[in-house]
Amino acid sequence: MRAIVTTRNGDVDVLRVETRPDPSPGRGEALIRVKAAGLNFADILARQGLYPDGPKKPCVMGYEVAGIVEAAGDAVDRALVGKPVIAMTRFGGQAELVVAPLTQIFEKPEQLSFEQGAAIPVNYLTAWALLVTMGGLKTDEGVLIHNAGGGVGLAALDIAKHIGAKTYGTASASKHEFLKARGLDYAIDYRGQDWLPLLLELTDNRGVELVIDPLGGSSWKHSYRALRSTGRMGVFGMSAASASGIRGKLRALKALVQAPRFHPLALMNGNKGVFGLNLGHMWNEGAKVAVWTQEIVRGIDEGWIRPHVDRAFPFDQVADAHRYIEARKNTGKVVLVP
């Protein structure tokens, strides 16, 4: 099979399409012929050497795929063979074939293309956990979605709209029109200006009940200040560190130094909460994730979950796909097709 290999840490030239042995499914697993694989910010950070959860290099990244079941391992119903599915993969998804345990595979809803299917697991499960499970977002509460035009951002917007929350989002100005058409109530340009005064102005100086922040570093300080009483902040990434080579290491260090420290007494007296989410550390919580998945599939059926694929890059153009996201050009999901 052909697979996208991150050969070592570095710039996009470390990415290669190589031939690897076909995997075969073990007990309780299925072999999937990949039609589309999700590209996530984590894959970029991994290539830059800034993603501690990534496998040892050389490696095949890829947390999610949509495709067709090609073979079933022992103890797996043979009726699954030939079915279109979506799967969470603990790496290895950016290849023509991948093996996943049955617990991480679900049937692809008919109305989704394979490319849209590959845009579901990481973005929507992360957004669900942040907004619903941990963030407890309610109707009429205010939510600030950072990078609202990105993969997780658009997923969060779908879910927040369904809940009936008032939505505020930061994004590059070029994405604002699209975001408003998707239902974002207030779009804020956060590039080259302080977004906090703008948000406070929009909320009568109160702030919002929920902020989800994948930027890290000093952004977490600002996001915490954006919370009104009973507000919660979900931290789930460190995009601020993104860069190749020594620049990335320095940015990561800066983000760590600038990250706020939260004292329990300050949280108590501020009536505020802070929580963290890392979907990549949920592999042993399959039952919880399965419940979230059911809710997401219900949302697809009911039409309020609308995965938006910006671009599909062929495997051979994986370097362009990485560059596209690093240059902040993506609105929604980028997928890779064999």
Ligand X SMILES: NC(=O)c1ccc[n+]([C@@H]2O[C@H](COP(=O)([O-])OP(=O)(O)OC[C@H]3O[C@@H](n4cnc5c(N)ncnc54)[C@H](OP(=O)(O)O)[C@@H]3O)[C@@H](O)[C@H]2O)c1
Give residues in contact with ligand X (CB under 6 A). 40-42, 122-123, 126, 147, 149-153, 171-172, 175, 214-215, 236-237, 239-240, 242, 277-280, 325-326, 328, 330
Cβ contact 146:219 at 8 Å = yes
Nearer to ligand X, 180 or 263 (CB): 180
Distance between CA atoms of residues 46 and 57, nearest Å = 9
Structure tokens at 311: 């671009």
Nearer to ligand X, 31 or 46 (CB): 46
Residue whose CB is less far from ligand X, 272 or 322:
322
Distance (Å, whole) CA 211 – CA 257: 21
- Least Å from the CB of residue 46 to ligand X: 10
Nearest distance, CB of residue 95 and ligand X, angstroms? 19
Q: Supply the minimum distance, in Å, between the C-beta of residue 2 and ligand X.
A: 23
Note whether 251 and 237 are within 8 A (CB).
no
Q: Considering the complex, what minimum distance in angstroms separates the CB of residue 296 from ligand X?
A: 14
Helices 121-128 & 151-163, crossing angle to 10 degrees?
50
Q: Which residue is nearest to ligand X (CB)?
A: 150
Kindly report the CA angle at 20 between 19 and 23, in degrees rounded to 5?
140
CB 118 within 8 A of CB 129: no
CB 243 → ligand X: shortest distance, Å? 8
Q: Provide the minimum distance between the beta carbon of 181 and ligand X in the complex, in angstroms, as a whole number.
A: 16
Nearer to ligand X, 25 or 51 (CB): 51
Give, to the nearest 10 degrees, the angle between helix 195-202 and helix 218-225.
Answer: 20
Q: Which is nearer to ligand X, 248 or 273 (CB)?
A: 248
Q: Which amino acid appears at position 166 of this protein?
A: K
Contact 25, 71 (CB under 8 A): yes
Nearest distance in Å: CB 253, ligand X: 15
Of 275 and 304, CB closest to ligand X:
275
How many CB atoms are closer than 10 A to CB 278? 13
Q: In what order do the strands lie in the sheet with 166-171?
A: 186-189, 166-171, 142-145, 208-213, 227-235, 272-276
When the beta carbons of 88 and 97 are compared against ligand X, the nearer one is 88
Extract the tokens encoding 92. Answer: 């290895």
